[in-house]
Structure 1
Amino acid sequence: MSELFKVVPEATHNALVEAAYKHRGYNQDEAAYAAKFSAYASTHGIRTHNALKALHLDHLFGSGSKGCVPDAKIEKLDSRFEASQTWNANRKLGQATAYEALETCIELADKYGIGQVSVDNAFHYLWGGGYVMEAAKRGYIAYTNCTAALAEVVPFMGKYPTLGTNPHSWGFPTTDAVGFPIVIDWATSVIAMGRVQQIAREGGTLPPNAAVDKDGNPTTDPKAAAALIPFGAHKGYGLSLINEIVGGFIGGSLPTVRNRAWEIEDEKHTACFYFQVIHPDAMNSGAFAKGRDQAANVKAVIDDILGHGNENCLLPGQIEAGAAAKTQENGGLLFSIAEIEAFNELAVECGLEPWDAERFQTAKS
């Protein structure tokens, strides 16, 4: 790796993250879920959704605003459908709510073959891929989507942002077949707004057809970018629209007032998310070619896709699996010096001793 990374013991990381969340009023369970999820993201190389990003979002839209309420209680609504639950999260911390929703879906899938949980009045849960990856590692097929914190994406051929970056995440239990779970996880904009801000700081230019200016005209100037464009034109637009419509069926807010325009008191301002978990046995036809069982058949399908000269193609989740192997090899979470400095700002906020980067081992390249 070209950038210098230091190895931070996971326990050291988790202690600081828990302290930061508790300092902001969250209870021990919420803080522990937040630290667990942040460590999981960092383990798999997801630097865009690590603890620094999580706490920054909490500052902007969570406990530092009105979007999240520390120590909130989830209200589980009555349902006539045994494999389905609908919750009012009451703006509880997204990571804690999402972990509970995932566990509930798994319990339902064990009993009914499939389970789903729809969550209203939620706070953003960050990296959706982390949750479905966890389910896939435990042998389940899992899916989640959510409405993003803000509307900052224009609809296809539009000029005003009325959609979120609206991610979709799928996880498949393919560890036996390929050595890791296949995880397909994507936002529906060409580029993330955080990436736009990074390019602006570095004096670079945006890729074509990634953003529009305040008048709705395409721009490659990151400082002029007012909104983002869906990837794949009408196809990305349609995928982004799915999240907003699913959120609308659950009870979600108008995207253009989500986490903003709090003066409009008769509208909701919170996000929604949706989880579904499927037990593979519930999909098993038993009619596989050449006497294969389900697991062998999945492997045969993947081998066929990656055959015929495609052997060097990557599978979704492969990069994350490689990052996890690198984390394990180094015996701790990997952070840049700049990230350690940002963690130290959190330590000062909590009244804790900042980390001394020199005492951490330098990561193996």
Structure 2
Amino acid sequence: MNTTLNRARTFGEAELLDLGKRAFVGLGLPEEHAGDVARVLVQADLFGINTHGLSRIESYGERLLVAGIQAHASVTVRHPAPAIRLVDGGNGIGPLVGMSALRAAMDAARECGVGVAFARQSNHFGPVSPYAYFAAQRGFASIIGSNATTTIAPWGGSDARLGNSPLGFGVPNPGGQPFLLDMAMSVVARAKIRNALKCGEAIPDTWATDSKGRPTTDAAAALGGFLLPVGGHKGYGLALMVDLFAGLLSNAAYLTHVKSWVDAPDQAQDLGHFFVLIDTARLGSAAWLAERMTDFAAILHDSPAADPSRPVIVPGEIELAKMARQQREGIEVDPAVLALLQRYAAQAQA
């Protein structure tokens, strides 16, 4: 292997977008579709969400190669009502379906003031925050969610019946930074539990249960058990709400009907997503919204910090600061991820 692949490299945003696009073309996607996928994943990397950025070339690529995801998916959009769009992703790659649904919801919101898109026959679509950011750039407030493979037991249950489904919100600010909140339904990600196991550390008993549904401080037992929802029974209810909108109402798979991409990589997952957008221009002028959003943030920032080294922040500020820094200094790509991107991109040129 070329030794240059063993060193991390830094890319400009446009350069990385081009490499990501060529890599997905190498995996069989049409150029336009590959561009949508690269845009979502590079935006995740810009935000510092590397676990959901171009590193997904590994899991997405594996499923594309075994036809668990259709490279040449036909995405269709139906209009059952002026403000509603129904998107069938044709078992396409998740970010393609996500961007198609986002555009459909924006079209409906431009027409009606509010637009809702329900997507089905999709796959993992990355994090929510890139979609909320793209919407905010165009003046739309958003509520966006997706369902996921089961990793959480029902409240009081002892086996996995619902997914760690992401839910996000965005509100534009014509005069500054948008509000962006992107969260999953578990207290922590499984990666934190894996890190605790590697370090030989105990975990709080609020993070996960063992295989019998009992709260545990043992990281190994937690990895063999289930994640706990944020907020206890309230988080359980919120996770169910996301699956009702993203799965059940979208006519996608829901709860245990969702296939595991790990256990069945060659089978369609039929994940669902929902996008609720509000055209803020219908509510008032850009100056009106900028003034109110600036005041909203100032009220929070002016609260004296309990820890002076950790000032109060508004959701989205950390990600937007990382994006600004990486747009100036470049985006560092993990050597293993880079090797995969370059390998698939070379196939596009062959």
Tell whether the structures are fold-level matches, with TM greater than 0.5: yes
> Deviation of residue 319 (structure 1)?
0.1
Q: Which residue of 2 aligns with 1:8?
A: 11
Shift in CA distance, 308/12, structure 1 to aligned 2, threshold 3 Å: closer
Is 1:22 the equivalent of 2:19?
no
Shift in CA distance, 303/66, structure 1 to aligned 2, threshold 3 Å: same
Shift in CA distance, 317/262, structure 1 to aligned 2, threshold 3 Å: closer
Count the aligned residue pairs: 331
Contact 1:26 1:71 in 2 (8 A): yes
Please give the per-residue CA displacement for 1:91-130, whole angstroms capped at 9, x wherever unaligned: 1121112112212222222221111111111112111111
Is 1:324 the equivalent of 2:328?
no
Q: Which residue of 2 aligns with 1:151?
A: 150
Contact 2:139 2:281 in 1 (8 A): no
Matches of 1:251 and 1:213, distance apart in 2:
32
Q: Which residue of 1 aligns with 2:159?
A: 160
CA-based RMSD of the aligned residues comes to 2.9
Shift in CA distance, 253/268, structure 1 to aligned 2, threshold 3 Å: farther
Contact 1:114 1:282 in 2 (8 A): no
> Deviation of residue 38 (structure 1)?
1.8
Q: Which residue of 2 aligns with 1:42?
A: 45
Q: Which residue of 2 aligns with 1:122?
A: 122
Q: Which residue of 1 aligns with 2:331?
A: 333
Is 1:295 the equivalent of 2:290?
yes
Is 1:73 the equivalent of 2:68?
no
Contact 1:254 1:268 in 2 (8 A): no
Contact 1:95 1:126 in 2 (8 A): yes
Residue 272 of structure 1 aligns to a residue in which SS? strand
Unaligned 5+ segments in structure 2 are: 1-6
Unaligned 5+ segments in structure 1 are: 287-291, 353-365
Q: Which residue of 2 aligns with 1:361?
A: none
Shift in CA distance, 314/96, structure 1 to aligned 2, threshold 3 Å: same
Contact 2:85 2:108 in 1 (8 A): no
Matches of 2:67 and 2:112, distance apart in 1:
37
TM-score by length of 2: 0.85
Shift in CA distance, 279/263, structure 1 to aligned 2, threshold 3 Å: closer
Contact 1:147 1:244 in 2 (8 A): yes
> Deviation of residue 255 (structure 1)?
2.1
Q: Which residue of 1 aligns with 2:302?
A: 307
Matches of 2:110 and 2:196, distance apart in 1:
46
Please give the per-residue CA displacement for 1:165-207, whole angstroms capped at 9, x wherever unaligned: 111111111251xx31110110010112233334434544433
Q: How does 1:1-365 map to 2 (within 5 A)?
A: 6-52=9-55, 54-59=56-61, 62-65=63-66, 67-79=68-80, 81-148=81-148, 150-176=149-175, 179-224=176-221, 225=223, 226-246=225-245, 247-260=247-260, 269-284=269-284, 293-309=288-304, 312-330=311-329, 332-335=330-333, 339-348=334-343, 351=346
Residue 152 of structure 1 aligns to a residue in which SS? strand
Residue 218 of structure 1 aligns to a residue in which SS? coil
Shift in CA distance, 48/204, structure 1 to aligned 2, threshold 3 Å: farther
> Deviation of residue 6 (structure 1)?
4.7
Shift in CA distance, 189/65, structure 1 to aligned 2, threshold 3 Å: farther
Shift in CA distance, 95/165, structure 1 to aligned 2, threshold 3 Å: same
